[in-house]
Amino acid sequence: MSKQGDYQEEYQRSLKDPEGFWAEQAASLPWYRAPTEILRSDADGVASWFADGEMNTAYMALDHHVEAGRGDQLALIYDSPVTQQQAKYTYLALRDAVATFAGLLRAQGVSKGDRVVIYMPMVPEAVIAMLAVARLGAIHSVVFGGFAANELALRIDDAQPKVLVTASCGIEVDRVIPYKPLVDKALELCSEQPASCIVLQRPECQAELTSGRDLDWAQVIASAEPADCVPVRATDPLYILYTSGTTGKPKGVVRDNGGHAVALCYSMRTVYDMAPGEVFWAASDVGWVVGHSYIVYAPLLAGCTTVLYEGKPVRTPDAAAFWRVVEEHQVKALFAAPTAFRAIRKEDPEAAQLKQHNLDHLQYIFVAGERLDPSTYDWLREHSHKPVIDHWWQTETGWAICANLMGLDPKPSKAGSSSLPVPGYDVRILDDSGLELPAGEQGAIALRLPLPPGCLSTVWGNHERFLAGYLSSYPGHYVSGDGGYRDEEGYVFIMGRTDDVINVAGHRLSTGEMEEILASHGAVAECAVIGVDDQLKGQLPLGLVILKDGAAIEPEALEQELVARIREDIGAIACFQRALVVPRLPKTRSGKILRKLLRQVANGEDYTVPSTIDDPASVDEVAAQLKDLRNE
Ligand code: COA
Ligand code: AMP
């Protein structure tokens, strides 16, 4: 049932003639100077897209639509059940707000290439700040508001921002979270200091401002002069977004301007079937890649209306929250993490609240961020009567690698699969030696270079880490860190990470980072953190610790201290609640902890003890303890 084209034809063309294919996609964007050099690959295979094109992403997302006569159309709808507020911005109003805030940033010394860290809750000012930075040709780095001071400090030190933009507080279901103490603490930990901090005071909590450094947003905006868009090269960075890797130091994924704009516009049409004027809602947070791509940039670049939702799927105030927003704002496509639907289902198993809402405008439900389990998929389809589209992507790619293309050529979906590779992505399933595996066999999922437009161009300040972490495992390929397989029809099934990354409620976290925090406790000799299956959040971290000889601490007391440390250093979103004292950890003879084996044991899966194990008895010991834990 082809809509606008044939999937195979479009997909093959995108791989055979990437330059022709993406030049065509780029032609519909309002460049200042249209690119003539479409693709350049360096010796490592790293692609630069549209290198001689000149543009400004905020111009393409706002001014262009105003100039084209869409100024009165809604650009952004803010819906906040936690404050009982709503606000609506037309393209004209959003453009003006962004231009004025850009003027304020310029007056604070921000110019092209400078970094601005944004640590904000889900308020329109967060979007305004991002677009204002883009307007100046500067580089934003948004830090998720749920991260603790230490995480914020790591990002500030790495990005070295000229200005930090924050708010007095975020609002969770049952409490107000003051941000300013976290910012102050982060800045104490930092060796680099921004010249100024712009603070949005919210009525729920007034922040104390530090004289000489902090500025009250409302006061300084009053005298700001609007700033014009600053032209940038397509390859200049638009933003840095930090994501969890295998070590304690997050990786700053760098996204360019030109490839990003082209890829996101293509995705809005092809993956999401969205046209200008239609309403798109990504129920995520601007601190994550989903928020960057599909709350802020893609809907605006495509001339759609985006919904910015400050609330949860449940408890704000109930499990009808999503359906209320969809009905009220006439959302055509909803995009959320599977966890959100598991939470709704838990509270409203028969979907009685869904049935009380008119969902006629809703045409699609998209999910990503973690595996969509078949039971949630079936529940959602059965009760919503809408197509449920699982699609797979990562912070690094910025848009979907595999999906069912609703705007091009929709195919039947298969539970457990994120469907077919999206045009531009040459997906390969490889064995350890880099050879392609046949259908049905599980291996590492890699993408043959060049990556399409929109994907990361480097790791901020550390190109070596980019090459070593992503491009060195299989020459000529980007390694995704996910394992999986293809079936006979080419459908891709993502089976989970092959590294130390876990997904907790759709949030990407590093077990390696958690291990570093646990290991810094005086009583801990050694530890491992693994992801164990959880019915609601997909995975939860579990710490396994070995005590130092002579450590005089009860296991329960140690657990409490370790839980508090992770909460303090990473934040409550790590959902680290359990640390189990074990006598030994199963290791190879060379001393490597067998984390995969531990994961299988903890999840009650079948496992084979590898022949390289040092002491087979250590597995039985830990298995007995983990069995007790599962039965608790
Ligand atoms: N600022 C501060 N704290 C935050 C926060 C934020 N932005 N977001 C979450 N937290 C805190 C929560 O208050 C909670 O604290 P607690 O342990 O003191 O209760 C903790 O972090 C865990 O939060 P969360 O994972 O959201 O759990 P929850 O039990 O409050 O809610 C769900 C469960 C399923 C409703 C929620 O996880 C959810 O909405 N998941 C979908 C997430 C999502 O959209 N991910 C997609 C990213 S693409
Ligand atoms: P993030 O970078 O936070 O978007 O997380 C990316 C990771 O989330 C991927 O590498 C996968 O492990 C996981 N993920 C994202 N989408 C899916 C999906 N549709 N199915 C399975 N896993 C997914």
Residue 2: pLDDT over 60: no
Helical H segments across 214-337, by residue range: 217-221, 258-270, 289-291, 298-301, 321-329
Please name which ligand lies nearest the alpha carbon of 571. Answer: 1
Q: What is the biggest distance separating any 2 CA atoms in the chain, rounded to whole angstroms?
A: 74
Residue 1: pLDDT over 80: no
pLDDT category of residue 632 using cuts at 50, 70 and 90: confident
% of the chain residues with pLDDT over 90: 92
Compute the distance from residue 23 Cα to the ligand 2 centre, in Å.
Answer: 29
pLDDT category of residue 627 using cuts at 50, 70 and 90: confident
Compute the distance from residue 172 Cα to the ligand 1 centre, in Å.
Answer: 8
Average pLDDT value for residue range 489-515: 94
pLDDT digits (tens, 9 = 90+) for 258-267: 999 999 999 9
pLDDT category of residue 3 using cuts at 50, 70 and 90: low
- The pLDDT value given to residue 500: 87
Please give the Cα distance from 377 to 369 (Å, whole number).
14
pLDDT category of residue 12 using cuts at 50, 70 and 90: very high
pLDDT digits (tens, 9 = 90+) for 577-602: 999 999 999 999 999 999 989 999 99
Structure tokens at 541: 């971290």
Please name which ligand lies nearest the alpha carbon of 498. Answer: 2
- The pLDDT value given to residue 245: 79
pLDDT category of residue 4 using cuts at 50, 70 and 90: confident
Residue 554: pLDDT over 80: yes
Q: Hey, which of 172, 182, 341 would you mutate to test ligand 1's pocket, going by the most ligand atoms within 8 Å of its Cβ?
A: 172
Compute the distance from residue 573 Cα to the ligand 1 centre, in Å.
Answer: 6
pLDDT digits (tens, 9 = 90+) for 95-109: 999 999 999 999 999
CA angle centred on 155, ends 505 and 95, rounded to 5°: 85
pLDDT digits (tens, 9 = 90+) for 331-354: 999 999 999 999 999 999 999 999
Structure tokens at 183: 């910012």
Ligand 2 pocket by Cβ (under 6 Å): 243, 289, 368-371, 390-395, 418, 481-482, 494, 497, 503, 508
Please give the Cα distance from 49 to 528 (Å, whole number).
41
Compute the distance from residue 315 Cα to the ligand 1 centre, in Å.
Answer: 12
Residue 37: pLDDT over 60: yes
Q: Hey, which of 482, 497, 533 would you mutate to test ligand 2's pocket, going by the most ligand atoms within 8 Å of its Cβ?
A: 482
pTM of the model: 0.97
Compute the distance from residue 401 Cα to the ligand 2 centre, in Å.
Answer: 10
Phi and psi based region of residue 213 (left: phi greater than 0; alpha: psi -120 to 50; beta: remaining): alpha
Ligand 1 pocket by Cβ (under 6 Å): 145-146, 170, 172, 177, 283-284, 288, 290, 312-314, 336-337, 339-340, 343, 369, 505-507, 536, 572-573, 575
Instruction: Let me know: does 493 contact 486? Beta carbons within 8 Å.
Output: yes
Residue 469: pLDDT over 50: yes
CATH topology of domain 501-631: GMP Synthetase; Chain A, domain 3 (3.30.300)
Dihedral pair phi/psi, residue 227, rounded to 5°: -110, 145
Residue 166: pLDDT over 90: yes
Compute the distance from residue 370 Cα to the ligand 2 centre, in Å.
Answer: 5
Residue 19: pLDDT over 50: yes
Average pLDDT value for residue range 550-563: 96
**Smallest CA separation from ligand 1 atom 19, residue:** 572
Q: How is the chain split into domains, by residue range?
A: 7-311+391-448, 501-631
CATH architecture designation of domain 7-311+391-448: 3-Layer(aba) Sandwich (3.40)
- Least Cα distance to 195 among 176, 178, 213 occurs for 213
